[in-house]
Chains A and B, each alone.
Chain A
Amino acid sequence: NAGVTQTPKFRVLKTGQSMTLLCAQDMNHEYMYWYRQDPGMGLRLIHYSVGEGTTAKGEVPDGYNVSRLKKQNFLLGLESAAPSQTSVYFCASSYGPKQYFGPGTRLTVL
Chain B
Amino acid sequence: GEDVEQSLFLSVREGDSSVINCTYTDSSSTYLYWYKQEPGAGLQLLTYIFSNMDMKQDQRLTVLLNKKDKHLSLRIADTQTGDSAIYFCAESMADRGSTLGRLYFGRGTQLTVWP
Q: Show the binding face of A for B, using Cβ within 8 Å.
A: 4, 31, 33, 40-45, 48, 50, 58, 90, 92, 94, 97-104
Q: Show the binding face of B for A, using Cβ within 8 Å.
A: 4, 8, 30-31, 35, 41-45, 48, 50, 88, 90, 92, 98, 100-108
* A100 pairs with B45, CB closer than 8 A: yes
* B88 pairs with A104, CB closer than 8 A: no
Interface of A is mostly: strand
* B48 pairs with A42, CB closer than 8 A: no
* B42 pairs with A102, CB closer than 8 A: yes
Nearest residue in A to B106 (C-beta to C-beta)?
Answer: A42
Given A43-B43, A100-B45, A101-B43, A58 and B102 touching (CB < 8 A)? yes
Kindly state the separation between the CA atoms of A50 and B101 in the bound complex, as whole angstroms.
Answer: 10
* B41 pairs with A43, CB closer than 8 A: no
Q: Residues of A contacting B44 with CB < 8 Å?
A: 101
